[in-house]
Chain A
Amino acid sequence: MGRGDVLRRGAVFVSLAVLFLLAVVWNINTGSVDIPVREIWRIIFLRREIESGAVPADAAAFNIIWKLRLKRVLLSAVLGGALALSGFLLQTFFRNPIAGPFVLGISSGARMFLALVTIALGAYIPSLPVAVTVAAAFLGSMLSMLLVLAFSGRVRNMSMLLVIGIMISYICSAVTDFLINFAKEAEIVNLTHWSMGSFSGGSWRDVGVSALVVLPAALGVFLLAKPISAYALGEGYAQSLGLDVRRFRVVLIILSSVLSACVTAFAGPISFVGIAVPHILRVLLKSSKPILMIPASFLGGAVFCMVCDLIARTVLSPTELSVGTVTSALGAPVVIWLMVSRRREQSE
């Protein structure tokens, strides 16, 4: 590794950190009401004083920040990081750069279980505990993941894996649509929210729970950077290096499912973040080393989703786009670029 590489990697991480801060501030600052940056700092760091009336502040701005924008930007940061990281794990696992929770049907599986649980339990419990929704999303993710795994053993081809994922995704959507026929109107609102993909509407509790799920999982992934790097040369070599491949596979599946399930439970399906972000970062870092890619993907996913959410909120203001629309519009071209450049590389 030369000096140039060190500089390049340093530059990428510094830019990510700067972009992260900028995205947070920008997200809080911009909207139907623009709040000056100095006011933002005051409202965030002097919360107690303002609440107790010791320090004066604009009540509207205070409410917008604390009741809307801050939790929304935090939620999009945490879940965006989770998405990108989950994509990175799936790409490592399938040794396929276009694997991701959305295209493999894992998000759809989670949504199907969410619908199932909402409708089945909705009659008895008016609003489901967060733990139940997360658990349902997790089970759905695992189910889709296992289906993909069952078929992926038979296809070596990178695009075939994608086709299988999309088919599983369609099957899950069909089942979900079928289930929705049995749903009450109030539940349909919830389910539609999940099917659109949005960071709005989350409560502070949602932010807390998703952080509690995502951050430890992300830390776990980071601690696995070494075995993940051994996996880059394939299972045969990983096994010969002393890695317990079977156990490692299970851990990897669970971690990536937890991450993507959490996103689906709190924000619905958000497409292409998991593919686009790790890919762009690989190109920027000129490396696929997990020890670099794991923190970079998390930060990058957070930045990407915060920016996409900002676009979703503001571009047609006051109407809001779903954030999934924006991530698709920005992320899908990256996937096309990836597939085309791969094809060229293979035929050379």
Chain B
Amino acid sequence: MSEAYFETNGLTVGYGGRPLIRDISLSLKRGGIMTLIGPNGAGKSTILKTVTRRIPAISGDVLLGGQSLLRMRGRDLARKMAVVLTDRLRPELMTCFDVAAAGRYPYTGSFGLLSARDKSIVLDSLAQVNASNLAGADFNSVSDGERQLVLLARAIAQEPEIIVLDEPTSYLDIRHKIELLEVLRGMAKARGVTVLMSLHELDMASKVSDVMVCVGDGAVAASGPPEDVFSDELVRRLYHLERGSYSVALGSAELPRPEGQPRVFVLGGGGRGIPLYRGLQRAGVPFSAGILPENDLDLAVAGPLAAEVVTSPPFAPAGPREMEAARALISSSKAVIDAGAPAEHYPARDELLKYARTLGIPIIESLEHITEVLR
């Protein structure tokens, strides 16, 4: 990574002099997006609070463009760094414009009066977060999502080089989450504003970040581009996922697999089996699945949820060994569930259905009557 803009050198953070995370060394280039992920209480907020100087660093240093941030004058820092905090605000009788205009503080004169230029910067900031229409609205009367956008506009109005956001997407619905991250990415790429934030949504973090920093167990467990550091295994380790699982490919979490001998066999493929696997998990029915090519979408969910999965090499028809394994699982099942995978891509399906019929095993297409079938 060439010429880092934001750097921490052996930074140790914590409250009241007690170290929580030691020896953090990170670096991010100008216009990059760095996200901190990790379980609750791991110290993501502590790192952000230290970087924004709400709490003192225990040791080490933070650099902005080569200058020590920790020793900068408050007003100088305010012109370089803006924040979006988790504080729930209820300011009195302030319009969204007023809230965004608070970002001009480091630039206004001794009475804080806005010049015409200040006003146009504030309006422009609101426009950047697509919140121009909110300018005249009372800040307390707009939705959580809109409020967060206005707070981001406030940070933008501060014309910072770096914006630090503490869990900016909490409480937001999916539309506003996407909107907010989109604005951040646009700003980072188009204006070279560096972004440092903590996120709860792993999938979002992996999509938006240039650098992901995984914080857990009193240390930075891993950091780097998402494609290097972000894996199922890392998530499992970082969050101590002993039950349940997380799929990086799907960006979704699965609940723990139902325990026991498989009782039904799911003939899936191409994503069609996914709702069935999850349905069986909810019903607490252990199941097996097949025959899924190793690159099949179904596998991301069947893998963590099924008691057993028969897989075949990608882009090739199932061989005799896979057919044999599938037949064995079917013969010991109470029912076969057909997800309706297209026959031209899953040629084994018809043959296995025929096999089930010859054994007199009921074939169903939905989970509607699953409990009666299994009784």
Residues of A within 8 A of B (CB): 1-2, 95, 97, 223, 225-226, 229-230, 232-234, 236-237, 239-244, 282, 286-289, 291, 345
A237: B residues at CB distance < 8 A: 83, 85, 87, 102, 154
B112 near A225: Cβ-Cβ < 8 Å:
yes
- Since A1-B97, A226-B108, A230-B105 are in contact, a sample of 17 more A-B pairs with Cβ atoms closer than 8 Å, ordered by chain A residue number, is A97-B92, A223-B110, A225-B112, A229-B105, A230-B102, A232-B92, A232-B94, A234-B87, A236-B85, A237-B83, A237-B85, A241-B103, A242-B76, A243-B105, A244-B74, A282-B92, A291-B112
A97–B93 alpha-carbon span in the complex (Å): 12
Contact across chains for A288 and B94 when beta carbons are under 8 A apart: yes
Which chain B residues in 59-95 approach chain A with CB under 8 Å?
73-78, 81-83, 85, 87, 89-94
7 contacts across the A-B interface (CB closer than 8 A):
A226-B112, A236-B83, A237-B85, A240-B81, A240-B83, A288-B93, A288-B94
Please report the C-alpha to C-alpha distance between residue A230 and residue B53 in the assembled complex, in whole angstroms.
Answer: 17
Contacts of A244 in B (CB 8 A): 74
What residues of chain A lie closer than 8 Å to B53, measured between beta carbons? 239
B residues within 8 Å of A by Cβ? 52-54, 73-78, 81-83, 85, 87, 89-94, 97-99, 102-103, 105-106, 108, 110-113, 136, 140, 154, 158
Main secondary structure of the interface of A (DSSP, over half): loop
Closest to A222 in B: B111
Query: Nearest 7 A-B pairs (CB), nearest first?
Result: A242-B78, A226-B112, A242-B74, A242-B75, A241-B105, A288-B92, A240-B83
Contact of A239 with B93 at beta-carbon distance under 8 Å, contacts A225-B112, A230-B102 already known: no
Complex formed: what's the CA distance from A202 to B4 in Å?
68
Do the beta carbons of A287 and B93 come within 8 Å of each other? yes
Specify the chain B residue showing the minimal Cβ separation from A279: B92
Bound form: Cα–Cα A233–B89 in Å: 7
List the B side residues contacting A287 at CB < 8 Å: 93
A71 to B6, CA, bound (A): 63
Residue of A nearest to B88 (CB): A234
Given contacts A230-B102, A241-B102, A241-B105, A236 and B87 within 8 Å (CB-CB):
yes
Residues of A within 8 A of B73 (CB): 242
Enumerate chain B residues within 8 angstroms of A242, measured Cβ to Cβ: 73-78, 105-106
- Residues of chain A with a CB closer than 8 A to B76's CB: 242
In the assembled complex, which residues on chain A have CB atoms less than 8 Å from the CB atom of B78?
A: 240-242
Q: What residues of A have a CB within 8 angstroms of the CB of B94 in the complex?
A: 232, 288
Which residues from B are CB-within-8-Å of A223? 110
By beta carbon, the residue of chain A nearest B109 is A226
Task: Tell me which residues across on chain A come within 8 A of B110, comparing CB atoms.
Answer: 223, 226
Residues of B within 8 A of A282 (CB): 92-93
- With a cutoff of 8 Å between Cβ atoms, the chain B residues found around residue A289 in the complex are 98
Residue numbers in A under 8 Å from B99 (CB-CB): 233
A95 to B94, CA, bound (A): 13
> Do the beta carbons of A240 and B111 come within 8 Å of each other?
no
Q: Which residue of A lies closest to B140 (CB)?
A: A345
CB distance from B55 to the nearest CB of A (A): 11
**Residue among B77, B93, B103 making CB contact with A286, cutoff 8 Å:** B93
Contacts of A236 in B (CB 8 A): 54, 83, 85, 87
Cβ–Cβ < 8 Å partners of A234 in chain B: 85, 87, 89
> Cα distance A272–B81 when bound, in Å?
41
Question: Which residue of A has the minimal Cβ distance to B106?
Answer: A242
Across the interface, name the chain A residue whose C-beta is closest to B108: A226
Per a CB cutoff under 8 Å, which of B97, B102, B136 touches A233?
Answer: B102
Contact B91 A288 (CB under 8 A): yes
B74 touches A243 (CB 8 A): yes
| Distance A287 CA – B93 CA, assembled complex (angstroms) | 5
**Separation of A236 and B105 alpha carbons in the complex (Å):** 14
CA distance A237 to B54 in the complex (A): 10
Identify the closest chain A residue to B81 (Cβ). Answer: A240
Q: How far is the CB of A208 from chain B (nearest CB, A)?
A: 29
> Chain B's nearest CB lies how many Å from the CB of A257?
23
Cα–Cα, bound, A223→B112 (Å): 10
Contact pick for B106, options A97, A225, A241, A345, CB 8 Å = A241
User: Which of A97, A240, A287 has the most chain B CB within a 10 Å cutoff?
Assistant: A240
What is the distance, in angstroms, from A242's C-beta to the closest C-beta of chain B?
4
By a CB distance below 8 angstroms, the chain B residues around A240 are 52, 78, 81-83, 85
What is the minimal beta-carbon distance from B116 to any residue of chain A, in angstroms? 12
B365 to chain A, nearest CB (A): 47
Chain A residues contacting B82 (CB-CB under 8 Å) are 240
Residues in chain B near residue A226, CB distance under 8 A: 105, 108, 110-112
